[in-house]
Amino acid sequence: MQNPLEKSLPQTSVVGACTVTDCKFNENHECHAGSIEVRVSGNGAECGTYTPEGNTRPRP
């Protein structure tokens, strides 16, 4: 059992699969952005790094 006073190390997560196929970072349902920002809105969590193909700026 882990010591409750011990701080856990930062975790790196990986996007397992992404269904947003019109994003320029999506290749065969895999994210190649390197890192992403997750935002929470009224619709729930969404990817803040999403960038439509042909657009060079991420979603505001």
**Interface residue list for ligand SF4 (CB under 6 A):** 15, 18, 20, 23, 25-26, 31, 33, 36, 47, 49-50
- Round to whole Å and give the CA distance between 60 and 42: 15
Question: Between 9 and 14, whose beta carbon lies closer to ligand SF4?
Answer: 14
Question: Between 8 and 56, whose beta carbon lies closer to ligand SF4?
Answer: 56
Report, in Å, the least distance between residue 9 CB and ligand SF4: 24
